[in-house]
Structure 1
Amino acid sequence: MTKAPRLPPRWFIRLFWSAHRAVHRLSGRRVGLWRPGAKGWGTLRLTTTGRRTGEQRSVIIGYFEDGPNLVSMAMNGWGEAEPAWWLNLQTHPDATVDLPDGRRQVHGRAATGEERARLWARWTEIDPNLNAHAARRPSETAVVVLAPGPTPPS
Structure 2
Amino acid sequence: MSHLRGFPDLPPVWALGFCLLQGLLAWLLPLLRFGGWAWPLGWVLLAAGVGLAGWAALWFWRKRTAIEPRRVPKALIVEGPYRLNRNPIYTGMALALLGTGLLWGTLSALLLVAVFPPLITHRFIRAEEQALLDTFGAEAERYSAATRRW
TM over 0.5: no
Structure number with the higher helix fraction is: 2
Higher relative contact order (CA 8 A, sep 6+): 2
Q: Which has the larger radius of gyration?
A: 2
Instruction: State the TM-score, normalizing by the size of structure 1.
Output: 0.29
Structure number with the higher strand fraction is: 1
Instruction: State the TM-score, normalizing by the size of structure 2.
Output: 0.30
